[in-house]
Structure 1
Amino acid sequence: MKIAVAGSGAMGLRYGILLQEVGNDVHFLDTWDENLAAIKKNRGVKVWRDGENPRMVKVNVYRPEEFNEKVDLIIVFVKDMHTDEMMNKCKHLIDKDTYVLTNQNGIGSVEVIEKYVSKDRIIAGTAVIATVLNGPGDVDFIGKRGAGSVNLVNVTEKPDSFTYELVEEMKKAQMNPALKTNYKGTLWTKLFLNAVANTLCTLMNITMGTFASYSNCKELTERIVYEAYQVAEADGVKLEQTREEIVEHILYVSKYGNPLHYPSMHQDMSTGRPTEVDYINGAIVKTAKKHGLEAPTSALLVDLVHLREEMRESKVLI
């Protein structure tokens, strides 16, 4: 399979390298000058595993406009707010047979991708894989090989032969893919986790395990999840778990799955990048308004994250 990874940050590098190592023809695309320079200078990416045993992995990296080969699949792994910009830069790679995969964090990117590719060629889903970008061309794969999992779902909810082929390639790469047929339900399941762990760990500058140790952790998680659950139901989402099951899942992942992990929003905040809170808790607020509802807890969290972003820029907070 010939693949272009559009966005060579932590997750883009992890997906691309794992798929490259099992024989796929992978090409990395990026717009971050420092990242491009480091990878080209070192002729590859430094890859760690839980902060140990670094190795250099040779990869091909380009600016999107420099790469002109048709591909079978474009994997989009930019921040949600940069999806349109990246898809526009990659549109010359797309023909009637090109598929696009997005496992981005928030909700809203699929609607942007639909401007460039028809629904029947968009594969969405979620990534439950902890990965840290230490710096340009330097990435840490958290967890032993085979750790983590990927949920894939066709936007049409009708898996086709290409989707099954992609699932098989991910199995070879030990990415533990699960093929789903509930599009919105699959995305919202991960949104609940992100709305709690990403946002609160960012605001408090803590790991997921530290959050799980908070004495009022369960009650706080319930407040966010129950509010979002009502919004999802109003939007007609067929949720795969009960409120209580979602809360327990978030607590389990935080305490046992990734207790030492700083979520991606925290990584963005600490490195001076804009966060995706508008596509996570903000998506809950936006969906609530569409149905005449309110989501005051998520609305407050959105404001607090933006407040922290502004204070970071003014050097009040570090």
Structure 2
Amino acid sequence: MHHAQEPQAATVGILGAGAMGTLFGTRLAQAGIPVTLVDINPELLEAIREHGVHCETDQGPLRARVQALQARELRQPPARWLIFTKAAHTQAALQSIAHVIGPETLLLSLQNGIGHIETLHGFADARQIAVGVTTWPARLLEAGRVSSLGSGKIRFMPRNGLVDARFQDFCNDLNRAGLHCEIDPEVETAIWEKLAFNAAFNGLCGVTRQTVDALATPLGRELIRDVLDEVVSVAAACGIAIDVPRLQATVEDALNHHVGHQPSLLQDLLAGRPTETDSIHGSVVRAAERHGIATPVTRTLHRLISVTQQRTP
């Protein structure tokens, strides 16, 4: 077995060059942090190599140059990875970089849903893995180009419950890139709050084909509240106390400021791609069933999206 070169300590590898990967890649590279984007789509990678990455923000456009490679082309493995693939692809994506995951490699997942966390533990020790959430909005305009209007933040925590210097450095670099990152021991709560937020917005926008701000009507708010109530009660049964006022504040902020934003699930449906409804709505419904809790609205959203998804080409 040949050993890859020493990991590049300063570099951040980003697994998945979709909307979030492109947003984070642009911001990190702009801040002078070397970035390697890894994806399985050769046309996407070629476009990024040729034109760089580009992000439209409220403050104007950001542009940067990054490395863009397929996993097998990695020669100098990054020591730190951001995982942004869809939850259903986590196993295959990590398998593709398994040859460069060493005992000191850090893996930070900011993926949606809760189904992928166990998968990470198949590739590294708990001390190398951190899981968190991000509220940054991103919409893919074309290969290597995203729109990210409004702001967001990141919260994560290493899986062994201890913060070592290297995860602190990772957090500092994300902050240097303006990504508002904090290490948060309460991140399990944040993950469930994000799950509730996504179940509502991804589900309702996906089914109604509306942007986020279009749900700022009495009926839209009522539907959002129904979904949130269901997820909050399932979280409580799982031993997670969601901070309801904070969640409601996040929802209000999205309704008021994520104007024209299509959540990722709606983007996927419109593009005929598989959605993440299973790791968002499906995971809530399965947890609810284990605790004997009814989740009629979340379950219906899951079924409607699953039916729609079967129809899309």
Letter in 2 for 1:181: P
Structure 1 position 36, deviation (Å): 1.7
CA-to-partner distance for each residue in 1:205-260, whole Å, 9 max, x for gaps?
A: 11111011x22233222211111111111111243x03x5534531x123213122
User: TM-score with structure 1 length normalisation?
Assistant: 0.90
C-alpha contact (below 8 Å) 1:197/1:254 kept by paired residues: no
- The Cα offsets for residues 4-34 of structure 1, whole Å up to 9 and x where unpaired, read as 1111111111112211222222111011232
Work out the number of aligned pairs and report it: 304
Partner of 2:274: 274
Q: Contact 2:90–2:119 at 8 Å: present in 1 too?
A: yes
Alignment equivalent of 1:180, drawn from 184, 195, 199: 184
Does the CA contact (< 8 Å) of 1:103 and 1:125 recur in 2? yes
Q: Write out per-residue CA displacement over residues 87-125 of structure 1, whole angstroms, 9 at most, x where no aligned residue.
A: 000111111101101111111211111100111211111
Contact 2:36 2:68 in 1 (8 A): yes
Gaps of 5+ in 1: 314-318
Question: Is the aligned partner of 1:300 residue 2:296?
Answer: no
The Cα RMSD (Å) is 1.9
Which residue number in structure 2 is paired with residue 123 of structure 1?
130
Question: CA separation of 1:179/1:302 partners in 2, compared to 1, >3 Å: closer, same or farther?
Answer: same
Match of 2:21 in 1: 12
Decide which of 227, 233, 245 is 1:224's aligned counterpart. 227
Equivalent residue of 2:155, what SS? strand
Map 1:209-288 → 2, pairs under 5 A? 209-212=213-216, 214-239=217-242, 241-242=243-244, 245-250=246-251, 252-288=252-288
Q: What SS class does the counterpart of residue 280 from structure 1 fall into? A: helix
Matches for 1:33-52 after TM superposition, within 5 Å: 33-40=42-49, 42-49=50-57
CA distance in 2, matches of 1:61, 1:76: 15
Deviations 1:240-298 (A, max 9, x none): x03x5534531x12321312211111111111111000011111011112223332221
1:151 to 130, 135, 155: 155
For 1:111, the equivalent position in structure 2 comes to 118
Query: Could you tell me how far apart the structure 2 residues matched to 1:255 and 1:290 are?
Result: 32
Give distance in 2, aligned partners of 1:39 and 1:75: 18
Distance 1:15 1:268, change over 3 A: same
- The 2-side partners of 1:245 and 1:56 are apart by 33
Aligned structure 1 segments of 4 or more residues deviating by more than 3 angstroms: 52-56
Change (3 A) 1:22 1:249: closer
Q: TM-score, structure 2 length as denominator?
A: 0.91
Moved more, 1-10 or 149-158: 149-158
Percent of pairs with identical residues: 26
2:55–2:146 contact (8 Å) kept in structure 1: yes
Q: Contact conserved, 2:34 with 2:66, CA < 8 A, in 1? A: no
3-state DSSP class of the match of 1:24? coil
Q: Distance in 1 between matches of 2:164 and 2:209?
A: 42
User: Aligned in 2, Cα 1:55/1:178: closer, same or farther, shift over 3 Å?
Assistant: closer
